[in-house]
């Protein structure tokens, strides 16, 4: 089979198509014919060597992918040949609280080989069936970004009808947040530097939009929208570069889910507002398999369709990563594998 490997050292120039033996299902494993993969910002950082410079190489990148089960090993009971499935981000975290044992070293696309391959063999415990109304391309977007959004709002938060949710930007996590929060009856505020993207977000159901280039102190706009109360839940993908304004946008007793570092990793931060306003800041890193399955039930019930911005061909992985790097995307970017 053909796979993409990061070979020798990091960088786009070292992401190459190579041949590997076709995988065989060991006991407890299934072999999946991958139909589509989707790209997370983490995948871009991994290829460039900025996520884990100590990651052993070669590595098949990309944590997210969907396809069809084509063979099963002995003792497999959860899945059957022909099932439409996706791999879980954490292969060993099936439910309950995260531990070093069920998370460290168990994520696809680093340190484990990922989904940018024609076939993969995965433990059946790290695979879920995907909603029948979704294409393989749409299903391939689910394992990381939407599961992270779900974890923010329901594993750590308690988003209810009428709550206000603020999400930053229009990438995969933010657009999934918008879609899932609207399914739950929440009021959603979304930010972007592009009025065109904000218009697209409105068509998806966003109640309020803020251009953070036009309104550099965008937390004031959030306060105005919410009658100076602030929002209930914030999905914070920027990191320290935006966290101060997120804190100022949060209501007393509100909840901030810290899921990204797009605007920086290190900075001084005034914690007085966090203390005085009883704000909870929670780090969120994807979620367990049962979150994925719960989310899929909700997606099926509402017939939700993930937003796919663009799909690249098998030979265009570098171009797809460069497109993510440009920040031009709205929602998810995918790569077709076995058409």
Residues 60 and 129 in one domain: yes
% of the chain exceeding 70 in pLDDT: 98
- How far is the C-alpha of 49 from the C-alpha of 305, rounded, in Å? 32
Q: What is the pLDDT of residue 265?
A: 55
Q: Binning pLDDT at 50, 70 and 90, where does residue 3 land? A: very high
Shared domain for 240 and 302, answered yes or no, is: no
91 and 18 assigned to the same domain: yes
pLDDT tens readout for residues 11-70: 999 999 999 999 999 999 999 999 999 999 999 999 999 999 999 999 999 999 999 999
Check whether residue 118 and residue 249 sit in a common domain.
Answer: no
Using the predicted structure, report yes or no on whether residue 89 has a pLDDT greater than 90: yes
Categorize the per-residue pLDDT at 271 as very low, low, confident or very high, splitting at 50, 70 and 90. Answer: confident
- In this model, does residue 159 exceed pLDDT 60? yes
Mean pLDDT of 213-221: 97
Residues 63 and 123 in one domain: yes
CATH number of the domain enclosing 331: 3.90.180.10
- Number of structural domains (the chain) is 2
What's the CATH code of the domain at 267?
Answer: 3.40.50.720
Helices 240-249 and 218-225: crossing angle in degrees, nearest 10, is 30
Residue 298 confidence class, pLDDT cut points 50, 70, 90: very high
**Would you say 94 and 288 are in contact if contact means Cβ atoms under 8 Å apart?**
yes
Instruction: Specify the 3-state DSSP secondary structure of 16.
Output: strand
Q: Where is the domain boundary, 262, 283, 304?
A: 283
Cis peptide before 38 (omega within 30 of 0): no
Same domain, 135 and 8: yes
Cα gap 329→41, rounded to integer Å:
11
> Are 208 and 246 found together in one domain?
yes
Contact 148, 175 (CB under 8 A): no
Do 153 and 267 lie in a common domain? Answer: yes
Residues 87 and 99 in one domain: yes
pLDDT band of 339, cuts 50, 70, 90:
confident
**What does the mean pLDDT of the chain come to?**
96
Q: Do 13 and 117 reside in the same domain of the chain?
A: yes
Domain that holds residue 202: 147-283
pLDDT of 263: 45
**Whether 111 and 17 share a structural domain:** yes
The C-alpha atoms of residue 292 and residue 139 are separated, in whole angstroms, by 12
């Amino acid at each position: 089979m053909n796979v993409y490997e990061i070979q020798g050292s990091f960088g786009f120039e070292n992401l190459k198509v190579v041949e590997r033996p076709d995988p065989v299902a060991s006991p407890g494993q299934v072999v999946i014919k991958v139909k589509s993969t989707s790209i997370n910002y983490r995948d871009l950082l991994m290829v460039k060597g900025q996520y884990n410079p100590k990651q052993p190489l070669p590595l098949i990148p990309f944590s997210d992918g969907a396809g069809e089960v084509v063979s099963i090993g002995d003792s497999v009971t959860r899945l059957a040949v022909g099932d439409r499935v996706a791999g879980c981000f954490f292969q060993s975290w099936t439910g309950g609280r995260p531990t070093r044992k069920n998370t460290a070293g168990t994520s696809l696309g680093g340190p484990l080989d990922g989904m940018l391959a024609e076939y993969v063999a995965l433990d059946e415990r790290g695979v879920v069936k995907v909603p029948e109304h979704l294409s393989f391309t749409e299903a391939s977007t689910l394992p990381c970004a939407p599961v992270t959004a779900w974890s923010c709002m329901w594993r750590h938060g308690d988003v209810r009808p009428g709550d206000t949710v603020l999400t930053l930007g229009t990438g995969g996590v933010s657009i999934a947040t918008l879609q899932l929060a609207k399914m739950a009856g929440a009021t959603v505020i979304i930010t972007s530097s592009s009025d065109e993207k904000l218009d697209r977000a409105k068509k998806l159901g966003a109640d309020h939009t803020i251009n953070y280039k036009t309104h550099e102190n965008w937390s004031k706009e959030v306060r105005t929208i919410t009658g100076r109360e602030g929002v209930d839940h914030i999905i914070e993908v920027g990191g320290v570069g935006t966290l101060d304004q997120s804190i100022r946008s949060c209501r007393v007793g509100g909840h901030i889910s810290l899921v990204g570092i797009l605007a920086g990793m290190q900075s001084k931060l005034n914690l007085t507002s966090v203390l005085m306003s009883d704000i909870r800041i929670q780090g969120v890193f994807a979620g367990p398999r049962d979150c994925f399955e719960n989310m899929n039930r909700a997606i099926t019930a509402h017939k939700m369709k993930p937003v796919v911005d663009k799909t690249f061909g098998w030979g265009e992985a570098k171009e797809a990563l460069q497109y993510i790097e440009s920040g031009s995307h709205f929602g998810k970017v995918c790569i077709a594998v076995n058409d």
